[in-house]
Structure 1
Amino acid sequence: MHRISTVLLLLICFFIFSCGSDEKTESTDSEDLKVFRYNQTSGISSLDPAFARDQANIWAINQLYNGLLQLDNDLEIQPSIASKWKISQDGLRYKFTLRDDVFFHDNKCFAAGKGRRVVASDFVYSFNRIIDPETASPGSWIFSGNVREQKPFEALNDTVFIAHLKQAFRPFLSILTMQYSYVVPKEAIDMYGETFRSNPVGSGPFYFKHWEEAVNLTFLKNPNYFETANGVRLPHLDGVQVSFIENPRTAYLKFVQGELDFISGLDDSYKNDLIDKDGELQSTLIDKVIMHKLPYLNVEYLGFLLDDSKIPDNPLTNKYLRQAINYAFDREKLVRFLRNNIGKPATSGFVPPGLPSFDEEKVKGYTYDLEKARLLLQKAGYPNGEGLPVITLMTNTSYENIGVFVANQLQDVGIQVDLDLVPPAFLRELMSKSEAPFFRGSWIADYPDAESYFVVLYGKNGAPPNYTRFNNMRFNVLYEKALVTNDDEARYNTYREMDKIIIEEAPVVPLYYDEVLRFVRKEVVGLEANALNLLVLKNCDFRQKD
């Protein structure tokens, strides 16, 4: 089916002849091997779930491991290793019942090299490892502050695992779908130590076979994987091969030539080769490529510093001025001309589409309305911009075009904006020190719950993440209420009320809601996607040749 590297072919052939499973591949002809190939331009730093901090690591780790729970394509929580769960009435005790047919991959860290069954104590170990300072995991925050100090995790027996929280935190189940919370065996950590990053042992649909860093990475089919689809054991693929071509244009050409099966996102070096000005797939590729476009849990915005103790006489602490700015530029035009229609104008508040609580009918945000902008500017004490000092918008060169667009449109109502282009790291430092009165920002959800956005504006949080220093009593009360509300619809209604407060108080200017773009060769089927842009390959397959 695919031309594949000699190394990978030899590895897969070895797997086929040595595997003791009843589900052996019948042919060793490379044309019959089903190998999914993608490129990771940024490289991968670790295959340890404790270090699943960026998309490159997350995509690879997602093929090798499992957690208690998983997400479906609609970001709804589904069973994984946990077959069922129960939350106590007070929201402090989460009880999970585990499947008894999940096994770690075969590895020399186990007796006789045979992977053993995953049990509840493995989750106790894995979760404690995440919060252990010696691990230095960037994911320790998922439990820190949420679980109780003493014995936060407990295994009643091999199939019952319990997590104890210090206070109710309704998004806890969503957090347990993150790759940081995937299970690892203590035997592997003991054997490999710091080199576990390149000797991963999980329970996922694929197992690790080979990694030549900065060159290629190979996973092979786990013949003992526990999940099935329509009565067929997953995964369908024989293997996964990851390349590390640094030049995006070169990787794109490999895709066009049929040497890669998938690319995600757009780079300026090939954007116009793939999509037209309306954001649709170029007609020359329709017979070879399928484009998937779906919401991405990322909101691009402009933020106002509301702490007037840091910058005296800051006019942006005036709510009516902030509202005027929100009305004074055309988000639809911004998305069309600067983004090739990739993304949606942010006209429904701070929380983007793709989350269950999003409802554009119930939450009405800002649209382009110069008349309202001028009225609000007058109400702010600056009729037609008279007496308003020049406002400086801080951004970086990657978003200069957006800054120029907004600045030009604000001139139409008399608001003068200068751009200050600063390196991203320096801008974050200024934002953290409350030295950026008007700045461009973006926020990507860590987990599929709107709380992941509202935490950015919760008044009791410092910076990060609350770079605006927004502190609204009503908003804070609703935020804390949502954390302890077990009924989903009631919590979603609370989230919508919070978004309405953000719209009214205007601590931010939502620009657009991002979208995921994926380009897949037509012979690929079953490649799942969701608004977190996870790469899920267990259901992926290739069409049979005619």
Structure 2
Amino acid sequence: MHLMFRTLTLLIFIVLTFSCGSRQAREYKVLRYNQPNHITSLDPAFAKSQNNIWSVLHLFDGLVELDDSLNVSPAIAKSWLISEDGLDYTFYLREDVYFHENDCFSNGSRKVVASDFEYSLTRLIDSKISSPGSWLFTDKIREKRPFEAIDDTTFVLHLTRPFIPMLGILTMQYCAVVPQEGITYYGSDFAQNPVGTGAFKFKKWIANQALFLNRNDNYYKGPSKLEGIKTSFMADKKIAMLELLNGNIDFVNGLESSFINELLDKNGVLLSEKENQLKLSKSPYLNSEYLGINLEACSPNSPLRIKEVRQAINYAIDRKLMLTALRNNVGQPADSGFVPTGLPSHDKVSVPGYEYNLQKAKTLLLEAGYPDGNGLEAIALYTNKDYLDITTFVARQLQKIGLLVTIEV
């Protein structure tokens, strides 16, 4: 039997930044942060993973974006209207947005116009480029010219049926505007030579080592206070944390598990003796991580196809203990369904979820015909090194109800 494992908690977004403390404060001109997973493309049409998305968001903009409260707000589109039947979305563009200066333009740069969005979104759904973001518009847009530039500042999206989440979809990185000149000039190498409109512009990318971005002084929202961003790609989070502690990088996202007790108390608060060296920022992070059951890899008679067995696995895992023991209470247990806290559809009353109940788990196994796990084949938990501690915790929890568990990294 196979389980694809990540975690069972809603994480808290953690940022650790280096603080000069008693040292002479320096003015941050270049932000240096580490991304443990290497980027594979700087083309927004292929920004599927979080590591790609972070870099792409520095370089590109779309029609609309999400503000800090997750509300859709203007970006390159200064305003928009939705028709009464919900089929036509008309966007009115700003006239002060320019692409980054680049050799692909005969005059160095040019203004963004509505036809650029017609081109970019048409390219996104083109089967020839096979963008992982093409699904956004599947069965939602009309067949003939669904993206239409009326004039330089008016762009219209035509749907086949009303779809309320459409504005939210347009905030995704896939929907960023790209210049046709850039795609023509660089071809498939556009992924390594991005040309966007964002607050930062591409300077250099050394594969598997670092990405360098310079400030866009012509950014329509005003230039950043930073002169640039350097993203390193240290896969070993322990090394990255040591680099942060030594002041060689300024920012890491997430906390390497082996450093938790060294830096945080049992309530997830930065230890007082570290306050002069580090700054810890925490905020809710919309990210559901889960234990997935790969039914396609299971045989037709696999016990994992039995609902009671799956429910028993859910009841056998103490999520609260897992967070306390392994994450110093940084995060929230996913005890109310799949939708994370922070989304309007999260409802503990309507969706009570699964609490830790060892006896109920054993009863469910008995009802499924596997008392104390007898007769069940071994379960393989597949994970990676980042989640090995949590995977080991889950394996031990499942052993308490008689399940045999192996871990594959």
- State the TM bucket, normalised to the shorter chain: 0.7 to 0.9
Q: Label 1:150 to 1:120 Cα distance change in 2 as closer, same or farther (>3 A).
A: same
Q: Is the 8 A contact 1:393 1:403 kept in 2?
A: no
Structure 1 segments unaligned to the other structure (5+ residues) = 1-30, 228-232, 424-546
Q: Label 1:352 to 1:112 Cα distance change in 2 as closer, same or farther (>3 A).
A: same
| Alpha-carbon distance in structure 2 between the residues aligned to 1:188 and 1:196 | 7
121, 128, 136: which one aligns with 1:127: 121
The alignment of Structure 1 onto Structure 2 pairs a total of residues equal to 382
Q: Residue type matched to 1:416 in 2?
A: G
- The Cα shift of 1:381 comes to 6.1
368, 375, 379: which one aligns with 1:393: 379
TM-score (norm 2): 0.82
- The Cα shift of 1:351 comes to 0.8
- The Cα shift of 1:269 comes to 5.4
Q: Secondary structure at the match of 1:125?
A: helix
The answer to whether residue 31 in structure 2 is matched with residue 36 in structure 1 is yes
Q: Residue type matched to 1:339 in 2?
A: R
- The Cα shift of 1:52 comes to 1.1
128, 138, 144: which one aligns with 1:144: 138
Q: Secondary structure at the match of 2:160?
A: coil
Match of 2:241 in 1: 252
Q: Label 1:397 to 1:221 Cα distance change in 2 as closer, same or farther (>3 A).
A: closer
Q: Is the 8 A contact 2:392 2:407 kept in 1?
A: no
| Alpha-carbon distance in structure 2 between the residues aligned to 1:247 and 1:319 | 39
TM-score (norm 1): 0.63
321, 324, 327: which one aligns with 1:339: 327
Structure 2 segments unaligned to the other structure (5+ residues) = 1-25
Q: Is the 8 A contact 2:35 2:252 kept in 1?
A: no
Match of 2:4 in 1: none
- The Cα shift of 1:286 comes to 1.0
Q: Secondary structure at the match of 1:111?
A: coil
Q: Cα RMSD over matched residues?
A: 3.0
Deviations 1:265-314 (A, max 9, x none): 1234544443345433233321232212223333233345789x9523x5
| Alpha-carbon distance in structure 1 between the residues aligned to 2:230 and 2:76 | 26
Q: Residue type matched to 1:395 in 2?
A: L
Q: Label 1:321 to 1:214 Cα distance change in 2 as closer, same or farther (>3 A).
A: closer
Match of 2:318 in 1: 330
Q: Is the 8 A contact 1:74 1:354 kept in 2?
A: no
Aligned pairs (5 A) from 1:83-94? 83-94=78-89
- The Cα shift of 1:108 comes to 2.8
- The Cα shift of 1:123 comes to 0.4
- The Cα shift of 1:182 comes to 0.6
Q: Secondary structure at the match of 2:255?
A: coil
Q: Is the 8 A contact 1:248 1:269 kept in 2?
A: no
Q: Label 1:91 to 1:283 Cα distance change in 2 as closer, same or farther (>3 A).
A: same
The answer to whether residue 175 in structure 2 is matched with residue 181 in structure 1 is yes
The answer to whether residue 196 in structure 2 is matched with residue 202 in structure 1 is yes
- The Cα shift of 1:318 comes to 4.7
Match of 1:299 in 2: 288
Q: Residue type matched to 1:340 in 2?
A: N
355, 358, 366: which one aligns with 2:346: 358
Aligned pairs (5 A) from 1:491-506? none
Q: Is the 8 A contact 1:85 1:96 kept in 2?
A: yes
Q: Residue type matched to 1:346 in 2?
A: A
| Alpha-carbon distance in structure 2 between the residues aligned to 1:408 and 1:250 | 29
Aligned pairs (5 A) from 1:430-469? none
Match of 2:212 in 1: 218
Structure scoring higher RCO (CA < 8 A, sep ≥ 6) equals: 2
| Alpha-carbon distance in structure 1 between the residues aligned to 2:311 and 2:239 | 45
Q: Secondary structure at the match of 2:404?
A: strand
Q: Label 1:376 to 1:286 Cα distance change in 2 as closer, same or farther (>3 A).
A: same
Deviations 1:93-146 (A, max 9, x none): 222221122111222322331x22111100010111112233232322222333
| Alpha-carbon distance in structure 2 between the residues aligned to 1:387 and 1:289 | 47
